[in-house]
């Protein structure tokens, strides 16, 4: 997949892209079929919501599943990232699904990803890209991400906070969020399953609690240039330690049989 000039301009202006139909229903089914097994595992890469309830993040999926090992090298993720960054050597910094369980999935406070990548992980520059695939239909009800278009070009103040009562997460004070939202507005990143979202490290975003009965599974791959790698050690599932560049596989890689 190659992004058009219009898409590249849009990404530069707004800080994000929403691309419906990037992955077929058949491919989404292959990705979804792995999730129950991964969710059933009792391991630190399955982080629970505060209070120990539903699963908040399923992490390091490419080290736990051949399907997700293929997905991090999928050309419809890797090639646009290479194109945007003008860079061939990108490593998989974080690989997860946020399932945001029906009724029980808590939201994610206002933040930019770079704040945490920089302060917690020691990533030097805001170059990483977050590539999401919607594994469910995502609408206004089940906790879509909400972006503040154009916020990636602003200076945004930060405060240290904690995500899900466990992880260090750098968030944005409410007065700063209010000023940016009043000026720039908000866009909710909705779409049918198979939609691809691409957004940069400096984009201000949030997502609300899922108070519907319907879970909202979203896959997320963060790709970062090898030359911009983290300089601090955090848990490997929060920031992967393997800095080998991902090389794209064939376009039909998700539909090829798995080794027995
Ligand atoms: O899954 C969500 O709702 C939020 C995810 C998010 O904020 C992120 O990937 O940076």
Is residue 252 included in any domain, yes or no?
Answer: no
Q: From ligand 1's centre to the CA of 108, what distance in Å?
A: 6
Which tokens go with 156?
A: 């945004």
Residue 49's pLDDT is what? Answer: 87
The Cα 69–Cα 256 span in angstroms is: 13
Q: Cα–Cα–Cα angle for 101, 128, 166, nearest 5°?
A: 40
Q: Which atom of ligand 1 is nearest to the CA of 218?
A: 1
- Ligand 1 pocket test target in 191, 201, 205 with most atoms within 8 Å of CB: 205
> What are the pLDDT digits (tens) for 177-206?
999 999 999 999 999 999 999 999 999 999
Q: Is the CB of 98 under 6 A from ligand 1?
A: yes
Is residue 220 included in any domain, yes or no?
Answer: yes
Cβ–Cβ < 8 Å for 178, 241: no
Average pLDDT of the chain, as a whole number: 95
Is residue 44 included in any domain, yes or no?
Answer: yes
Is residue 166 included in any domain, yes or no?
Answer: yes
Taking residues 43-47, report their average pLDDT: 95
For 175, the domain range is 5-244
Contacts of 178 (CB under 8 A, 6+ apart): none
The residue contributing the CA closest to ligand 1 atom 9 is 220
Is residue 250 included in any domain, yes or no?
Answer: no
Phi, psi of 181 (to 5 degrees): -65, -40
Residue 6 has pLDDT above 80, yes or no: yes
The residues that bridge with 191 in the sheet, in sequence order, are: 138
Taking residues 115-124, report their average pLDDT: 95
Is residue 69 included in any domain, yes or no?
Answer: yes
Q: From ligand 1's centre to the CA of 145, what distance in Å?
A: 7
CA dihedral 15, 71, 239, 227 (to 10 degrees): -70
Residue 56's pLDDT is what? Answer: 94
Residue 165's pLDDT is what? Answer: 63
Residue 1's pLDDT is what? Answer: 85
Is residue 258 included in any domain, yes or no?
Answer: no
Is residue 121 included in any domain, yes or no?
Answer: yes
Residue 256 has pLDDT above 90, yes or no: yes
Q: How far is CA 59 from the centre of its chain?
A: 11
Q: How confident is the model at residue 118 (pLDDT cuts 50, 70, 90)?
A: very high
**Among 142, 155, 152, 143, residue whose Cα is nearest residue 108:** 143
First-last CA distance in the chain:
30
Q: Specify the number of domains making up the chain.
A: 1
Cβ–Cβ < 8 Å for 210, 136: no
Q: From ligand 1's centre to the CA of 259, what distance in Å?
A: 32
Percent of the chain with pLDDT over 70: 99
Q: How confident is the model at residue 23 (pLDDT cuts 50, 70, 90)?
A: very high
**In the β-sheet with 55-59, what is the strand arrangement from edge to edge?**
16-19, 196-200, 129-134, 218-225, 90-98, 55-59, 46-48
Phi, psi of 200 (to 5 degrees): -90, 170
- Identify the CATH number of the domain in which residue 209 sits: 2.60.120.620
Which tokens go with 38?
A: 């991964």
């Amino acid at each position: 997949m190659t992004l058009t000039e219009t898409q590249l301009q849009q990404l530069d202006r707004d800080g994000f892209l929403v691309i419906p139909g990037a992955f077929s229903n058949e491919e989404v089914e292959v990705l979804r079929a792995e999730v129950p097994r991964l969710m059933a595992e009792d391991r630190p890469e399955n982080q629970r919501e505060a209070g120990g309830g539903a699963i908040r993040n399923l992490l390091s999926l490419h080290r736990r599943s051949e399907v997700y090992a293929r997905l991090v090298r999928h050309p419809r993720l890797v090639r646009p990232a290479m194109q945007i960054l003008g860079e061939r050597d990108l490593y998989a910094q974080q690989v997860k699904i946020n399932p945001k369980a029906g009724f029980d999935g808590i939201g994610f406070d206002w933040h930019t990803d770079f704040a945490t990548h920089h302060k917690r992980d020691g990533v030097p520059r805001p170059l990483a890209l977050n590539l999401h695939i919607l594994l469910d239909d995502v609408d206004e009800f089940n906790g879509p991400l909400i972006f503040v278009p154009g916020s990636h070009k602003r200076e945004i103040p930060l405060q240290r906070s904690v995500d899900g009562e466990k992880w260090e997460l750098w968030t944005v004070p409410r007065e700063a969020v209010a000023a940016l939202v009043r000026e720039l507005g908000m866009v909710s990143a909705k779409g049918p399953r198979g939609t691809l979202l691409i957004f940069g490290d400096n984009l201000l975003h949030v997502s609300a609690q899922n108070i519907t009965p319907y879970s909202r599974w979203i896959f997320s791959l963060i790709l970062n240039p090898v030359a911009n790698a983290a300089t601090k050690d955090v848990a490997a599932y929060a920031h992967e330690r393997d800095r080998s560049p991902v090389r794209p596989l064939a376009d039909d890689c998700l539909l090829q049989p798995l080794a027995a």
